[in-house]
Amino acid sequence: MEMTQFAMDIPKDMAPYLAGEDALSRNVMLLYPMIRNGTISHGRAAEILGIHKADLIEVLESLGIPYLDQTWESLMEDLHTLDSVLGAAT
């Protein structure tokens, strides 16, 4: 994986916390907003990071970010749709 340097401004008091931060976790967190808003997929983020998607999911889980973040209402709607499709197929 080819790397590049990227400078960014951060609050001075934040620097000590980033100095010891695991590079992979930091990079995952930099990409996470784009994953969350749908700009890139989990698979594309994993490609960018040079890791497997399963490893990305593991890092996210270790950071307390679930891979599936579906609401209960959304899950119930999906189940209703599945029931409708399966009922129509018989």
Confidence of residue 90 (pLDDT cuts 50, 70, 90): low
Considering the chain, what percentage of its residues have pLDDT values greater than 90? 53
Measured distance CA(89)–CA(73) in Å, rounded: 24
Domain for residue 63, yes or no?
A: yes
pLDDT at 56: 96
Say how many domains are in the chain. Answer: 1
Domain for residue 6, yes or no?
A: no
| Spatial contact of 59 and 52, defined as CB atoms under 8 Å apart | no
Mean pLDDT of 44-48: 96
Domain for residue 10, yes or no?
A: no
Domain for residue 16, yes or no?
A: no
Domain for residue 2, yes or no?
A: no
- Residue numbers of the domain that contains 25: 21-89
